[in-house]
Chain A
Amino acid sequence: MTEQIIGGTDRRTRRVAISPQQIAKKERRQKLLIGTTSLGAVALLYTVVSNLPSANAVLTPPPQLIFSTFVEKLSDGTLLSATWASLQRVLIGYLIGTSLAILLGTLMGWFKYVEYVFDPIVECLRPIPPLAYIPLVILWFGIGEFSRIFIIVAASFLTCIVNAYSGMKQVPKVYVEAAQTLGASPLTVFRTVALPYSIPFIFAGMRVAMAASWTTLVAAELVAAQSGLGFMLQSGRRFFDTSLVMTGIVMIGILAFSMDRIFRSVQQRIGQWSEVQ
């Protein structure tokens, strides 16, 4: 009896040794460790397979070959100039496309007459993959820089506008009415309630649009370009230079991944007020 009580007291006085921060830190470490291991396993598998005596180095170049091609293209400047050409197109097209999408999408989501005018057009164009416009754009505008940027504008616009529009549509009525009774004019409500409420939605749309821009750019450059990463991939295929193709793929991966990361951190900061992140 007494022993049990003492035992109970002992258990009760035991301190909780792990803080929530420590738990979170431990989980992050685990995630990173397991993630790196699984990625490493795939890399290792490819290394082993590509180095087998029976492997065809032309089709599956071993990592060391891809690495040396990467370094070679990097030092002779071709990789950087291709990257720069692609990056420029993506950024210009993306900035124009998302700006237009945010402008039109928010206005459409808020002012019903803007919605009545533009919604049918957007709804018709949206389900068509932007890649389907490539042949038409080439027929209309040729294979110049304008066509490539135009396609990226279309791709980022059509993916981003949906989010901007639906963010505005979801603004709770009570916020609008609260602002009105506090003295806000319709335009002020748009600026100080609807827009800030929609920013997390708009940002999610901008992130999707960034991915769509890369996809579309590479496709556009495969078809019609004399420069850029897509063009590099295509010339690698033409000359059976698989390690050049791999180099291009790796470079696109690095760029897309780092841009997405930047987006994620900005998104987290902007959406700090939100209950659900």
Chain B
Amino acid sequence: MMDDRPAGMLAIDQVGMEFALADDGSTFNVLDNISLDIPKGKFVSIVGHSGCGKSTLLRILAGLTMPTLGEVRVDGSIVEGPSVSRGMVFQQDAVFPWLSVRDNIEYGLKVRGMKKAQRQAESDTWIKLVGLEGWENAYPKQLSGGMRKRVDLARVYANKPDVMLMDEPFGALDAQTKATMQSELLSLWQQAGSTVVFVTHDLEEAVFLSDLVIVLSRNPGRVKQVLQIDLPRPRNEELRLSDEFLGEKRRLFDVLSET
């Protein structure tokens, strides 16, 4: 399934990001000379201490922020702004409160001009996949935080992006819901096959989900190390307590705490 994706390869080429601190011309270097190749179809996490620029890097991949140096290419073409081929799930609640669950999921399809019947068929599929049958006509305020994230995931996945960018999407959820959502995300990823770049500061989350974990250092944000996680798939809840899992988590922890 994964190999029939036509696209989804990311090339981050010497990306740097500086913010002007004050009018006197002093700058703050958030990201410094980041170069990474992210193979298509992989699940890649970016971890690092807060302030290491991992969210900034993700926004650059999305085309929501322009880097001050370097460039990002997706399947060869330079990123110059947001695009439907790169879906984004935000840390905050981004589900539109004035639209029903169904209308939220169909939003991307609608703005791209898909016919109503086809839209409905698509949203039916995604509503089923994220387990929201019976909630089609509910409004976001009637849903729990976990259910709203499901709507958000379905909305972005329905758009069939080549790359899924996720900025600590489960950061605001309780531990139980978070674990459930991680498993659901893995099964969505396996079905859709798109590349995922997932920003988190939760090491367990990074190990559980990823093929590759990119560790960023702070001040300025640089690539410290890229770790390959060779745990078997499909991954389930049992895995979290296995020795291999804890070993990988330890390895990641050690890399992160090196100074």
Contacts and interface: CB of A to CB of B under 8 A. Distances in A.
Interface residues of A, number: 22
Contacts of B102: none
By secondary structure, the B interface counts as loop
Contacts of A180: 64, 81-82
A196 B165 CA distance: 26
A273 B98 contact: yes
B112 A181 contact: no
Interface stretch (B15-23, B39-47, B85-93, B234-242): B85-93
For this complex, into which size category does the number of interface residues on chain B fall?
20 to 34
Contact of A174 (B86, B90, B99): B90
By secondary structure, the A interface counts as helix
Nearest to B113: A183
Nearest to B97: A273
Contacts of A178: 88, 90, 94, 96
Contacts of B88: 177-178, 181
A193 B96 contact: yes
B39 to A, nearest CB: 22
A275 B97 contact: yes
Interface centre among A175, A188, A272 (most CB of B within 10 A): A175
Contacts of B141: 273-275
B96 A181 contact: no
Contacts of A268: none
B198 interface: no
Interface string B68-98: 0000000000000111101110101110111
B93 to A, nearest CB: 8
Contact of A273 (B92, B139, B165): B139
Contacts of B99: 196, 273
B10 interface: no
A168 to B, nearest CB: 14
Given A182-B84, A183-B84, A273-B140, A177 B90 contact: yes
22 contacts: A175-B96, A177-B90, A178-B94, A181-B86, A181-B88, A181-B165, A182-B107, A182-B155, A183-B83, A183-B108, A183-B159, A185-B111, A192-B107, A196-B96, A196-B98, A196-B99, A197-B98, A273-B97, A273-B99, A273-B139, A274-B98, A275-B97
Interface of A: 172, 174-175, 177-185, 188, 192-193, 196-197, 199, 272-275
